[in-house]
């Protein structure tokens, strides 16, 4: 069975269990999965119950898909993702985005937990991604192109929609928050970066660093989806503060900003029109 056929089978399995096909999707990063529980009339589907769907073994990635409503709009929330550092190839990492694209989703909100490279950021800030730098070491579009997904050479001039970024800013102001904007850089992981690497990333224009999101954004734009990216700055990157990095800190910060994060997503989705 071809990659396209596996993705289509997964999309069809989701469509067969919902009454209304969602046009918006949210991928939830480490510790941010509580948003899936806030959906009204939610229909929950564990990843291991969907055909060919890859599972994540990372703490903070629950591993289920929920279709429900927010502000009267039907959306699909993906609580957890898989990563290249787990040993997956990039086709596997982008499988979920491909499936929701074939399902009929037109708008994708990608979220992640990230380290703050920009020393002006506060821990717990929610950063709107204006652009990204791909240092994972690969691209999900490498190999034969399947025109049913998208063109051979997709444009990446505006990966993250200016329209959606404005809507996020409006939603932030409504909840009393001025959202910082910045450039997100994706590295392979799973080790955190060294202080020297962080200095290098700051020099080339990075504001936040993580180990996800970029392959999904590339695949989504390949399929013509409109993309918004939001990073939760759960920790300051190596060398910014005189302390070691710990995944528990990532989870604790994500829990602390849970209410603000959910309010931002709800406000943004409510403005999609």
Q: Any idea which residues carry the catalytic annotation? A: 30, 61, 83, 85-86, 113, 211-212, 235, 247
The DSSP-derived string for 205-243 is T-SEEESSSHHHHHHHHHTT-EEEEEEEEEEEPBTTBSS
Question: Between helices 3-15 and 95-103, what is the axis angle to 10°?
Answer: 60
DSSP string covering 112-165 = EEEEE-STTPPTT-EEEEEEEEEESS--TT-SS--TTT--SS---TTSS-HHHH
Give the separation between CA 221 and CA 203, rounded to whole angstroms.
27
Q: Where are the beta strands (DSSP E) in 9-143?
A: 24-28, 40-46, 64-70, 73-79, 107-116, 126-135
CA-CA distance, 201 to 184, in Å (whole number)? 10
40 CB burial (10 A radius; 0-12, 13-18, 19+): exposed
Cα–Cα distance, 65 to 62 (Å, whole number): 9
């Amino acid at each position: 069975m071809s990659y396209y056929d596996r993705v289509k089978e997964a999309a069809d399995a989701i469509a067969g269990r919902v009454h209304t096909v969602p046009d918006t999707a949210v991928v939830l990063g480490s510790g941010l999965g509580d948003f899936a529980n806030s959906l009204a009339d939610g229909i929950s589907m564990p990843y291991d119950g969907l055909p060919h769907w890859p599972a994540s073994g990372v703490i903070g990635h629950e591993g289920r898909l929920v279709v429900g409503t927010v502000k009267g709009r039907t959306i699909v929330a993906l609580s957890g993702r898989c990563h290249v550092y787990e040993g997956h190839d990039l086709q596997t990492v982008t499988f979920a985005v491909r499936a929701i694209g074939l399902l009929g989703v037109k708008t994708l909100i990608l979220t992640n937990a990230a380290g703050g490279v920009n020393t002006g950021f506060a821990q717990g800030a929610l950063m709107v991604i204006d652009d990204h730098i791909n240092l994972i070491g690969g691209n999900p579009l490498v190999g034969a192109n399947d025109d049913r997904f998208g063109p051979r050479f997709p444009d990446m001039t505006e990966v993250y929609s200016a329209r959606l970024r404005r809507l996020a800013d409006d939603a932030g102001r409504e909840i009393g928050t001025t959202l910082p904007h910045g450039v997100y850089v994706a590295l392979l992981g799973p080790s955190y970066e060294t202080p020297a690497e962080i200095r290098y990333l700051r020099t080339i224009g990075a504001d936040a660093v993580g180990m996800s999101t970029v392959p999904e954004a590339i695949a989504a734009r390949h399929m013509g989806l409109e993309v918004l990216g939001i990073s939760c700055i759960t920790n300051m990157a190596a060398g910014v503060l005189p302390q070691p990095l710990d995944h528990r800190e990532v989870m604790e910060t994500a829990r602390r900003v849970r209410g603000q994060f959910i309010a931002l997503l709800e406000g943004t989705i409510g403005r999609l029109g």
